[in-house]
């Protein structure tokens, strides 16, 4: 520490402002860390300032020490957390995947529960106050239908005479979470008992909780968006894992062996990239047999997406391999008698794995977008499978969107997801190289 | 230079050949052919075609021949500029695709111009006024632009135009001009409709260009020669436009190669949403009805378009950068 301090002082040219009393000189000329403290003409010496300076100087030194002994992962984490948007993105991504995992429990209804009378029912506002009085528990007003005397169309109206309180853990539609455990408890919803009671009393309004409105068949949009996230998010993840495998293997071979293999693989990648991707995807997905089950279509689409997606990862892997081959530590390992496999797996892969994770994260949003576009065109997943693209299919009809703008809400969710994943990926990419 | 261009042209030939093969295979992949989907359609309408009718159709369309023969015949025709026959439209494919490819190019190019314009202006503004309110606003907007799939943007714009202004922004022409012969009035009408697809298709690209332009220009602006120019009393606007901007412009050309395929791809989905008379809707339909020669020709021509686009950008880059042209 002492050596370091004197070194930094000696190397610094003496400026006019450095004619301070000798006792203070080392403190204020710790300018390597806080150069602004010793500007020319800064003669007055405030005791507070000196004290502050000392503290920050010591801090800086401790910081330095901490940095020297930190493990690479620790440094990546520090660097990542500095990137505020990336942290926000990461939190959103984790939340989204949690929602996808616990879809059955988090959604207030079952995605196929329909009520034709409630076609395009508007989103209901959740209230806390009724006629200025706090109700102690959030509630929604009932919905009634009435004919608009001018347009002669049936329109939904809010019936303020009926209130349906929203409970936590109410009993509702029964489901099997992950196809394993049967339950009928949801995170929130309106109580079945209250609904039945209202029905028996012959209340003219519908007892529903449509936070984001309803679709053509009167199904809850929120529920369907939550269920859709399961397909859309997982297709992104599985697709990237598949293209990751293709990319790492082929890119690795290409970069490690070089020569003719490298040339062939590189030409192949260039060729695949020169074909416009969406027409090719369209043609490939149109070739999936119509009578396939939704599970097979799902995997078919995933494989089609990763058939093109792998080229980007392969390029990244190859580039890393080429750069890494020349590094001294690889040479050292080779001199020490390490085998090829050991060099690859023990020395090369760990040193660029973080980069790969970052590029893979950045590839997920592209996958999700492609699936959404294909399903939107009717070439990808098809109902009854629910994905965000399938949900957006309904909004292709301009008239129904004009009538029920909430049909575009899956699009908002897509934008948020893509942005969050992009920010997370950017942050990871910056953090992947902490020594820069 | 000419040898460089010549080499690149030679390289195009095997690529195009591969693409024609892939297009054909991809179209052949689905089980059944146009006849089976034709029969299915007839069945759905309640009558079943007779066996001899089916046989006659199969023979007429040459679907009784093996795949490789059909491919070679098709390829031989393509080289002569004939693309085969569209089963569904009962027309030669070449009658159907040229107009639509033309409009695809127009939409893609106007989207490219839009994204260049926005990328240039907004990129310079946010670099020069770094960390200002405008910079943050543009940065936020460009991130949103990057994250929005363009078909979604098309949907949102269509809905807003329809719901709030009562305008329908779909199509490339007003109704009275759709079938009219080309005239100045029709061209003006086209320009009136072109802005919407240009903006929609170009948004993602311009968002990317804004980011690159901003980063590059910031690098340049911190260099000493800019300070020198300022010290010599150059007017700030001239200073920025004359030197750093020129250097920062390089990515505009170098990204054109991959920007064009993206624009062509992007225009396909958007034109399905906006029902533009470009390749998109027809390609989608031909894929669904297994109208194979039409679909394969579209795939081939779209890929050719992208390859030509890449070639142009490579030539431009070689013109700009002697290292590329010498190294080959």
Burial B318-328 (b: 16+ CB within 10 A, else e): beeeeeebeee
The answer to whether A315 and A269 are in contact (CB under 8 A) is yes
Measure CB to CB from residue A276 to each of B29, B284, B302 and give the nearest one. Answer: B302
Q: Which residue has the higher pLDDT, A190 or A365?
A: A365
CA distance B26 to chain A (A): 6
Chain B neighbors of A372, CB-CB under 8 A: 149
Q: Which of B38-42, B122-126, B143-147, B206-210 has the highest mean pLDDT?
A: B122-126
What tens digit of pLDDT does each residue of A330-353 get?
888 888 888 877 887 788 877 777
**In this structure, how many other beta carbons lie within 10 angstroms of the beta carbon of residue B304?**
17
DSSP-derived 3-state class of residue B171:
coil
How far B13 CA lies from chain A's nearest CA (Å)? Answer: 12
Please determine, for residue A64, whether its predicted confidence score (pLDDT) is greater than 80. no
How far apart (Å, rounded) are the C-alpha atoms in residues B269 and A277?
12
User: Cα–Cα distance between B97 and B308 in angstroms, integer?
Assistant: 17
Give the per-residue pLDDT at B206: 85
Q: Which residues of B touch A379 (CB under 8 A)?
A: 284, 287-288
Q: Is A408 an 8 Å CB contact of chain B?
A: yes
* Cis peptide upstream of residue B166 (ω within 30 degrees of 0): no
Question: How far, in Å, CA of A32 to CA of B206, rounded?
Answer: 42
C-alpha count within 13 angstroms, C-beta hemisphere, residue B259: 28
**For residues A351 and A406, what is the distance between their CA atoms, to the nearest angstrom?**
47
Query: Of A293-307, B22-36, B102-116, B290-304, which gets the smallest average pLDDT?
Result: B22-36
d(CA B210, CA B120): 7
Q: What is the pLDDT of residue A200?
A: 63
In CATH terms, the fold of domain B97-291 is: MetI-like fold (1.10.3720)
CA distance A243 to B161: 40
Please report the pLDDT score of residue A20 as a whole number. Answer: 41
What's the pLDDT at A91?
93
Helix or strand or coil: residue B177? Answer: helix
Distance CA B107, CA B190 (A): 11
Partners of A402 on chain B (C-beta within 8 Å) are 159, 162-163
For residue B23, the chain A residues in CB contact (below 8 A) are 283
pLDDT band at B52 (very low <50, low <70, confident <90, very high): confident
Strands A154-168 and A188-190: what pairing? antiparallel
pLDDT at A12: 39
Helix or strand (DSSP H, E) at B85:
strand B85-86
The confidence score (pLDDT) of residue A24 equals 41
Residue A271: closest C-alpha in chain B: B15
CA angle A430, A427, B133 (to 5 degrees): 105
Confidence of residue A398 (pLDDT cuts 50, 70, 90): confident
pLDDT in tens, B284-327: 888 877 777 788 888 888 888 878 877 777 777 777 666 666 65
Choose among A93, A115, A95: nearest CA to A103: A95
Instruction: Determine, for residues A415 and B284 on separate chains, whether the beta-carbon distance falls below 8 Å.
Output: no
Q: Rounded to a whole number, what is the distance in Å from the CA of A84 to chain B's nearest CA? A: 14
B22: closest chain A residue by CA? A280
Closest approach of A369 to chain B, Cα-based (Å): 7
Query: Which ipTM did the prediction report?
Result: 0.78
Q: Which range, of A3-7, A139-143, B137-141, averages the lowest pLDDT?
A: A3-7
Tell me the pLDDT tens digit for each residue of B158-189. Answer: 888 887 887 777 777 777 777 777 778 778 88
Kindly report each contact of residues A35-41 with a partner whose C-beta sits within 8 Å and lies 24 or more positions away, as own/partner: A40/A15, A40/A16, A41/A16, A41/A17
- How many A-B residue pairs are in contact by the CB < 8 A criterion? 122
Nearest C-alpha of chain B: how many angstroms from A19? 31
Cα distances from B65 to residues A26, B72, B287, in angstroms, run 92, 11, 21
Provide the greatest CA pair distance for chain A: 93
Domain with CATH 1.10.3720.10 in chain A: 88-97+222-431
> Which DSSP letter does residue B181 get?
P
Strand (E) or helix (H) holding B92: strand B91-92
- Beta carbons within 10 angstroms of residue B249's beta carbon: 18
Please return the burial class of A295, using the count of CB atoms within 10 Å of its CB with bins 0-12, 13-18 and 19+. exposed
Mean per-residue pLDDT for B13-23?
83
Is residue B203 over pLDDT 60? yes
Residue ranges covered by each domain of chain B? 34-70, 97-291
pLDDT at A40: 42
Q: Which residue has the higher pLDDT, B58 or A314?
A: A314
Sign of CA dihedral A210, A212, A216, A219: negative
What is the spatial distance between Cα B188 and Cα B158, in angstroms, rounded to a whole number? 21
Rounded to the nearest integer, the mean pLDDT of chain A is 76
Question: Which A positions 3-32 lie with beta carbon below 8 A of chain B?
Answer: none
CA distance A301 to A306: 9
Return the percentage of chain A with pLDDT > 90, whole number: 4
The region of weakest confidence among A36-45, A71-80, A85-94 is A36-45
Does residue A155 register a pLDDT over 80?
Answer: no
Instruction: Give CA–CA dist A330/A344, Å, rounded.
Output: 9
What would be the CATH architecture of the domain defined by A88-97+222-431? Orthogonal Bundle (1.10)
- Give the residue-averaged pLDDT of A72-92: 83
* Chain A residue at shortest CA distance from B160: A402
Say whether residue A393 is in contact with chain B using an 8 A CB cutoff.
no
End-to-end CA distance of chain A: 23
Contacts of A283 in chain B (CB under 8 A): 23, 26-27, 287, 295, 299
CA–CA gap between residue A92 and residue B104 (Å, rounded): 38
Minimum distance, in Å, between the CA of residue A414 and any CA atom of chain B:
8
Spatial separation of the C-alpha atoms in residues A151 and A212, rounded to whole Å: 25
- Percentage of residues in chain B with pLDDT exceeding 90? 1
Whole-angstrom Cα distance, residue A46 to residue A193?
73
Q: What secondary structure letter does DSSP report for B86?
A: E
Half-sphere exposure of A307 (CA within 13 A, CB side): 15
Read off the pLDDT band of A201 (50, 70, 90).
low
Residues forming beta bridges with residue B265, ordered by sequence position: none
* pLDDT value of residue B321: 65
For residue range A9-38, what is the model confidence (pLDDT) as tens digits?
333 343 443 444 444 434 444 334 444 444
Predicted pLDDT at A95: 93
Mean pLDDT of A369-393: 86
SS (H, E, C) chain A: CHHHHHHHHHCCCCCHHHCCCHHHHHHHCCCCCCHHHHCCCCCCCCHHHHHHHHHHHHHHHHHHHHHHHCCHHHHHHHHHHHCHHHHHHHHHHHHHHHHHHCHHHHCCCCCCCCCHHHCCCCCCCCEEEECCEEEEEEEEEEEEEEECCCCCCEEEEEEEEEEEEEEECCEEEEEEECCCEEEEECCEEECHHHHHHHHHCCCCCECCCCCCCECCCCCEHHHHHHHHHHHHHHHHHHHHHHHHHHHHHHHHHHHHHCHHHHHHHHHHHHHHHHCCHHHHHHHHHHCCCCCCCHHHHHHHHHHHHHHHHHHHHHHHHHHHHHHHHCCHHHHHHHHCCCCHHHHHHHHHHHHHHHHHHHHHHHHHHHHHHHHHHHHHHCCCCCCCCCCHHHHHHHHHCHHHHHHCHHHHHHHHHHHHHHHHHHHHHHHHHHHCCCCC
Other Cβ atoms within 10 Å of A89 Cβ, number: 24
Beta bridge partners of A129: A134
If one compares A286 and A4, the residue with the highest pLDDT of the two is A286
The whole model's pTM is what? 0.78
Chain A's closest residue to B274, CA to CA, is: A396
Distance (Å, whole) CA B19 – CA B76: 15
Mapping DSSP to helix (H, G, I), strand (E, B) and coil, where does residue B80 land? coil
Confidence band for A97, pLDDT divided at 50, 70 and 90: very high
| SS3 per residue for B244-307 | HHHHHCHHHHHCHHHHHHHHHHHHHHHHHHCCCCCHHHHHHHHHHCCCHHHHHHHHHHHHHHHH
Closest CA to A255 of A318, A304, A325, A164: A318
Query: Residue ranges of the alpha helices (H) in chain B?
Result: 2-28, 34-44, 51-60, 67-79, 93-128, 133-147, 150-165, 184-221, 224-231, 236-242, 244-248, 250-254, 256-273, 279-288, 292-320, 322-327
For residues A326, A329, A332 and A337, what is the CA-based torsion angle, rounded to 10 degrees? -100
pLDDT score at B323: 62
Non-local (6+) Cβ contacts of B62 within 8 A are B70, B73
Closest CA to B115 of B192, B213, B240: B213
Name the most confidently modeled range: A33-37, A176-180, A356-360. A356-360
Between residues B89 and B222, the one the model is more confident about: B222
Nearest to A283 among B146, B152, B295 (CB): B295
Q: At A109, is the pLDDT very low, low, confident or very high (cuts 50, 70, 90)?
A: confident
Identify the H or E element spanning B91.
strand B91-92
- Spatial CB neighbours of B59, under 8 Å, sequence gap ≥ 6: none
Q: Of A135-144, A349-358, A403-412, B258-267, which one has max mean pLDDT?
A: A403-412
Model confidence at A92, pLDDT cuts 50, 70, 90, reads very high
Between residues A45 and B54, the one the model is more confident about: B54
Give dist(CA B260, CA B104) in Å, integer. 11
Nearest CA in chain B to A276: B261
- Number of Cβ atoms within 10 Å of the Cβ of A408: 17
The closest alpha carbon to A108, from A192, A179, A178, A181, belongs to A192
Residues of B in contact with A287 (CB under 8 A): 26-27, 29-30
Q: For the residues A241-270, what does the mean pLDDT come to?
A: 83
A392 at interface of B, judged by CB pairs closer than 8 A: yes
A215-219, A301-305, B191-195: which is most confident: A301-305
């Amino acid at each position: 520490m002492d050596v370091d301090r004197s070194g930094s002082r000696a190397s610094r040219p003496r400026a006019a402002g450095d004619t301070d009393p000798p006792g203070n000189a080392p403190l204020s000329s710790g300018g390597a860390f806080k150069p602004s403290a010793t500007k020319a003409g800064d003669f007055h010496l405030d005791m507070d300032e000196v004290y502050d300076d000392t503290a920050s100087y010591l801090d800086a030194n401790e910081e330095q020490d901490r940095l020297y002994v930190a493990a690479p992962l620790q440094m990546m984490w520090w660097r990542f957390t500095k990137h505020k948007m990336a942290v926000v993105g990461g939190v959103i991504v984790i939340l989204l995947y949690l929602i996808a995992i616990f879809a059955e429990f988090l959604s207030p209804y079952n995605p196929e529960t329909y009520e034709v009378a409630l076609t395009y029912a508007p989103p209901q506002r959740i209230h806390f106050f009724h006629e200025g009085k706090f109700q102690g528990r959030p509630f929604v007003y009932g919905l009634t239908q009435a004919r608009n005397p001018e347009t002669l169309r049936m329109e939904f109206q809010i019936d303020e005479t009926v209130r349906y309180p929203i409970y936590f853990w109410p009993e509702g539609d029964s489901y099997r979470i992950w196809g394993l455990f049967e339950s009928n408890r949801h995170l929130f919803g309106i109580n079945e008992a209250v609904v039945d009671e209202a029905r028996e009393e012959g209340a003219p309004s519908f007892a529903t909780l449509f936070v984001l409105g309803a679709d053509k068949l009167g199904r809850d949009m929120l529920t369907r968006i939550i269920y859709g996230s399961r397909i859309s998010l997982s297709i992104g993840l599985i697709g990237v894992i598949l293209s990751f495998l293709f990319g790492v293997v082929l890119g690795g071979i290409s970069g490690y062996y070089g020569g003719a293999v490298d040339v062939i693989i590189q030409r192949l990648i260039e060729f695949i990239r020169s074909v416009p991707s969406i027409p090719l995807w369209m043609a490939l997905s149109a070739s999936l047999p119509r009578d396939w089950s939704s599970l097979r279509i799902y995997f078919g689409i995933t494989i089609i997406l990763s058939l093109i997606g792998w080229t980007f990862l392969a390029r990244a892997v190859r580039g890393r391999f080429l750069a890494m081959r020349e590094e001294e530590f690889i040479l050292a390992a080779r001199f020490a008698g390490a085998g090829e496999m050991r060099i690859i797996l023990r020395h090369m892969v760990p040193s660029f794995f973080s980069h790969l994770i970052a590029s893979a994260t950045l590839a997920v949003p592209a996958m999700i977008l492609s699936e959404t576009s294909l399903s939107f065109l009717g070439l990808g997943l098809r109902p009854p499978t629910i994905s965000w693209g399938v949900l957006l299919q309904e909004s292709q009809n301009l008239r129904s969107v004009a009538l029920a703008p909430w049909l575009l809400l899956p699009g908002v969710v897509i934008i948020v997801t893509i942005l969050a994943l992009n920010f997370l990926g950017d942050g990871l990419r910056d953090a992947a190289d902490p020594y820069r | 230079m000419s040898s460089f261009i010549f080499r690149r042209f030679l390289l195009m030939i095997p690529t195009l050949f591969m693409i024609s093969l892939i297009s054909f295979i991809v179209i052949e992949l689905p089980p059944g052919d146009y006849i089976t989907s034709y029969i299915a359609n007839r069945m759905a309408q309640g009558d079943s075609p007779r066996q001899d009718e089916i046989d006659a159709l199969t023979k007429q369309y040459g679907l009784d021949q093996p795949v490789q023969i059909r491919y070679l015949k098709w390829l031989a025709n393509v080289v002569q500029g004939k693309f085969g026959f569209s089963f569904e439209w009962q027309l030669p494919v070449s009658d159907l695709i040229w107009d639509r490819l033309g409009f695809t190019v127009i939409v893609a190019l106007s989207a490219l111009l839009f994204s260049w314009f926005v990328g240039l202006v907004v990129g310079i503004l946010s670099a020069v006024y770094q960390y200002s309110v405008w910079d943050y606003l543009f940065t936020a907007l460009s991130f949103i632009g990057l994250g929005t799939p363009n078909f979604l943007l098309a949907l949102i714009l269509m809905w807003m135009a329809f719901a709030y202004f009562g305008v329908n922004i779909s199509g490339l022409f007003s109704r009275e001009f759709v079938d009219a012969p080309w005239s100045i009035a029709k061209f003006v009408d086209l320009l009136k409709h072109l802005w919407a697809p240009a903006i929609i298709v170009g948004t993602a690209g311009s968002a990317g260009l804004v980011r690159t332009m901003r980063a590059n220009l910031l690098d340049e602006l911190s260099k000493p020669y800019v300070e020198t120019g300022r010290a010599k009393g150059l007017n700030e606007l001239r200073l920025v436009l004359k030197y750093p901007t020129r250097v920062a412009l390089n990515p505009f050309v170098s990204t054109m190669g991959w920007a064009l395929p993206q624009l062509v791809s992007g225009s396909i989905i958007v034109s399905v949403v906006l029902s533009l008379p470009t390749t998109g809707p027809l390609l989608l339909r031909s894929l669904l009805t297994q109208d194979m020669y039409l679909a394969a020709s579209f795939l081939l021509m779209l890929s050719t378009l992208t390859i030509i686009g890449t070639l142009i950008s490579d030539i431009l880059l070689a013109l700009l950068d002697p290292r590329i042209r010498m190294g080959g």
